[in-house]
Amino acid sequence: MIPFNIPPYIGTEPSYIQEAIANRKICGDGPFTKRCHTWLEERFGAQKALLTTSGTTALEMAAILSGLKAGDEVLLPSFTFSSTATAVVLTGATPVFVDVRPDTMNIDEQKLEAAITPRTRAIMAVHYAGVGCEMDTILDIAQRHGLTVIEDAAQGVMASYKGKALGTIGDLGCYSFHETKNYSMGEGGALLMRDEKYNEPAEILREKGTNRARFFRGQVDKYTWVDYGSSYLPSDLNAAYLWAQLCEADHINESRLAAWNTYDRAFRPLAEDTLNGKGRIEVPHVPAECVHNAHMYYLKLRDLADRTAFIAFMKERGISCVFHYVPLHSSPAGRKFGRFAGEDVYTTRESDRLVRLPMYYGMSEEDCTAVIDAAMAYLKK
């Protein structure tokens, strides 16, 4: 049996968790949380990073910090996880879905301007599969129209665009450390801020609306309720788990890239095999500006029927392959809360064809080969 995902585990997690327990400080913002903050800031060149309880809550914080309110509109892809859109809905603003580019499955930057109305306030750029969106174009459009840019870099930790870490390019960036992502703390995430103006509002929002962070720094002599807030800080136990993995981030990244490259060497020739002007499949496209993090390897088959048959064929051979996402604009909540701007040329068509292959830290060469052999048996039928 080859599972679709195995949550990353390095081996040093228990000793750091024991240390957190010995510290008698397992609530939020303990020593391990602080280490993770510094690591994220130094490694990715982020002005400020704060751990959160999930990628979803990082997105919620970003939406709130952007000052979104009822009547505002936010541009985002329909081909994404529900969390990208629910963060918008939480503020009362309307998610406006824009088509994706078929090559990267990222929001089509060429279709953004046509979707902008006097109510548009922000763009959410989802870096699908850890491959960066066309950020220079997106930032340029945002600047000309006075829009905030939020990066949903849940899948983009350790990936970059033009040398800049994903999550640090827009105004606010969101990471996920869920166990299905490249680095995990079970449930968790991080919010990255480019501008210092967000630092204090973010601390207040994350600490139940209080100025407790200032109090701990000795900047005020008592803390009090100063604004709206919630509890968005994870336990230091979870941060200790993550810390073990951040210490080994390059090793984890290299392991995933090795599996990704093994897949790519096998499958890319089938995409380039231009019988009748078309390959049997399509494989991921990584633009020259982007360095990806092997979050995902996917294939695009001919259509929905081809994909359904492929998944069943693989399952019979003990290999778990999965698809996602049901486009948000055609989901019950998407129809209720949002709308699609312009024409859905690629979102539905391409999402119907896409299948993800097993991919995890520590995936052996033999497992990769077993997946490749089974897939080839199907594709060459």
Ligand X SMILES: *Cc1c(COP(=O)(O)O)cnc(C)c1O
Binds ligand X by CB under 6 A, chosen from 91, 176, 235, 262: 176
152 in contact with ligand X (CB under 6 A): yes
**Beta carbon of residue 70, minimum distance to ligand X (angstroms, whole number):** 23
DSSP 263-317: HHHHHHHHHH--BTTB-SSB-----TTEE------EEE-SSHHHHHHHHHHHHHT
CB neighbours of 124 closer than 8 A, spacing ≥ 6?
59, 74, 75, 76, 77, 84, 88, 107, 150, 151, 152
Q: Nearer Cβ to ligand X, position 125 or 283? A: 125
CB neighbours of 373 closer than 8 A, spacing ≥ 6?
none
**Beta carbon of residue 366, minimum distance to ligand X (angstroms, whole number):** 28
Binds ligand X by CB under 6 A, chosen from 8, 28, 30, 55: 55
Binds ligand X by CB under 6 A, chosen from 189, 201, 234, 284: 189
**Beta carbon of residue 140, minimum distance to ligand X (angstroms, whole number):** 23
DSSP state of 192: E
Binds ligand X by CB under 6 A, chosen from 16, 32, 79, 81: 81
Q: Which long-range contacts link 304-308 to residues 24+ away (Cβ below 8 Å)?
A: 304/352, 304/353, 306/353, 307/352, 307/353, 307/354, 307/355
**Beta carbon of residue 245, minimum distance to ligand X (angstroms, whole number):** 14
**Beta carbon of residue 8, minimum distance to ligand X (angstroms, whole number):** 14
The interface region with ligand X, picked from 51-59, 192-200, 247-255, 368-376 by CB under 6 A, is 51-59
**Beta carbon of residue 82, minimum distance to ligand X (angstroms, whole number):** 8
**Degrees (nearest 5) of the Cα angle 194, 196, 200?**
120
Give the whole-angstrom CA distance, residue 145 versus residue 289.
25
How would you classify the pairing of strands 298-300 and 354-356? antiparallel
155 in contact with ligand X (CB under 6 A): yes
211 in contact with ligand X (CB under 6 A): no
What is the residue whose two structure tokens read 């060497």? Answer: 265
Give the whole-angstrom CA distance, residue 166 versus residue 174.
9
What is the residue whose two structure tokens read 């390019």? Answer: 169
**Beta carbon of residue 174, minimum distance to ligand X (angstroms, whole number):** 7
Task: Kindly determine how many residues on this chain lie close enough to bind ligand X according to the rule CB under 6 A.
Answer: 14
Q: Nearer Cβ to ligand X, position 126 or 159? A: 126
The interface region with ligand X, picked from 54-62, 102-110, 208-216, 341-349 by CB under 6 A, is 54-62
Q: Nearer Cβ to ligand X, position 148 or 262? A: 148
292 in contact with ligand X (CB under 6 A): no
Is residue 209 a contact partner of residue 202, using CB atoms and an 8 Å limit? no
Is residue 341 a contact partner of residue 98, using CB atoms and an 8 Å limit? yes
Binding site for ligand X (CB under 6 A): 54-56, 80-81, 83-84, 126, 152, 154-155, 176, 178, 189
